[in-house]
Amino acid sequence: MYYSNILETIGNTPMVKINKVVAGIPALVLLKGDTFNPGHSIKDRMALKMLEDAEKRGDIQPGGTIIECTSGNTGMGLAIAAAVKGYHSIFTTSDKQSKEKIDLLKAMGAEVIVCPTNVEPDDPKSYYSVARKLSEEMPNSFWVNQYDNLSNRLAHYESTGPEIWEQTGGKITHLIAGVGTGGTISGTGRYLKEQNPDLKVWGIDTYGSVFKKYHETGVFDEKEIYPYITEGIGEDILPKNVDFEVIDLFEKVTDKDGALMARRLAREEGILLGYSAGSAFAGLHQLKDQLTKDDIVVVVIHDHGSRYVGKIYNDDWMRERGFLEEELKVKDIIAKKEDKAFRSVQVTNTVREVFKMMKENDISQMPVMNGEDIQGSVTESTILSFLLENPMANAEKLIADIMGPAFPIVSEDLSCRQMVRYINKNSSAVIARDKTGTLHILTEYDIIQAV
């Protein structure tokens, strides 16, 4: 069995149970895995539908040009369809979008025009205006306009909704999805509510977007609009595809919480997803008190994490934005240590001397030095086993004869998380040299004290 072309592989994506990231949430939580589409995002569905509906209406002729303003995913879906169907494509996008997304569109043969993010939608430089102008000037071109083109939400009404209904055996109680153009949540939500009017549809919004306030008050408040970092969700306009009647509530998620949650999904579930997927799961956590153990929640995610390797999956990027707590480092443990004395013994010391020193100072391990050089280590248990196994042994034996390997030496800039990897049954401590050259011995006890 084979498909006639890649477009036939769009949709029928798997549903996957989420296990660890949903700890504390009473309901069964399922992820609708739309990263399995050929463009690695859910937008392949609506891109194809918008294009095919335009073909049916005669809005685009063979060899024509597809024009769209897109943050990347719709562009990818359109570019795939354009390649298969033989159209040219031009995409306008905002300078906030990841470079990966833009390069990917170019890789698919599209032309990309990058426009400034922080301008009004009706500013001639905005990516909406540039797309509109191009479509007016170019013959045989079709401006897709995913915001107001209702084939967008229809695609989800016809495919995403029925798939979820079938995959949950009609048992879904809550649908959660990020809202950008609104196509995903409105189309999917409407289909599902037609099957079960009690179903709840929760939209995930960002701080800096107008949706939540508009939904709750009917007021389009420009004061709600400000720049944010999350990609794909939240808007400064009201797209026609957002069906406010279908959506029961909007929940706003911060840039930081969305990014951190996406990272957890990768590390704890093995599922590498985009930024807005993190926001959707962070929103789910914020709303968990409204769920019960009998509920079945489906979280529809939008895209794959490979497009965000330079962003949310990059520690420096995260740190620069204050999204990562500063990690505890070896130097922090040194600073917090009350007794900073570096107690060591020399290779020329006897077992008896070393044992006495350990008892007097109440310490369990020590480095063994040859002058200034670290030669080995000795622990309480090494000495005890030596004495027990050799009852006749001479405690005047040199410690060098029974010492173990030297403790690992670590940099004071090493993170604590990495440092603990060096502490195991073969090595009960590590040695760190600070900026002044002074040596410090650090044990698990010191880490616990510092934490």
Min dist. Cβ of residue 300 to ligand PLP (A): 9
For residues 70 and 50, what is the distance between their CA atoms, to the nearest angstrom? 14
Strands 365-370 and 345-346: parallel
Whole-number minimum distance, CB 274 to ligand PLP, in Å?
5
Q: Give 235 or 269: the residue with its C-beta nearer to ligand PLP.
A: 235
What letters, b where the CB count within 10 A reaches 16 and e where it falls short, cover 16-37? Answer: eebeebbeebebbbbbbbbbbb
Nearer to ligand PLP, 72 or 367 (CB): 72
293 among known catalytic residues: no
In angstroms, give the least distance from the CB of 439 to ligand PLP: 50
Tell me the closest approach of the beta carbon of residue 320 to ligand PLP, in angstroms.
21
Do residues 440 and 432 lie in contact, with contact meaning Cβ atoms separated by under 8 Å?
yes
Cα–Cα distance measured from residue 189 to residue 178, given in angstroms and rounded to the nearest whole number? 12
Residue 318 or residue 387: which is nearer to ligand PLP going by CB? 318
Contact 122, 159 (CB under 8 A): no
Of the pair 101, 329, the CB lying nearest ligand PLP is at: 101
Name the closest residue to ligand PLP (Cβ). Answer: 232
Q: Which of 43, 212, 252, 329 is catalytic?
A: 43
Residue 261 · residue 21 · CB < 8 Å: yes
Determine the Cα–Cα distance for residues 442 and 429; give it in Å rounded to an integer. Answer: 6
Q: Which residues bind ligand PLP (CB under 6 A)?
A: 71, 73-74, 178-185, 231-233, 274, 276, 302-303
Q: What are phi and psi of 50, to 5 degrees?
A: -65, -40
The answer to whether residues 257 and 210 touch, using CB atoms and an 8 Å cutoff, is no
Rg (CA), the chain: 30
Whichever of 188 and 379 has its CB closer to ligand PLP, that residue is 188
Q: β-strand 15-17 against 28-32: which pairing, if any?
A: antiparallel
CB of 161 to ligand PLP, least distance (A): 13
Residues with catalytic function: 43
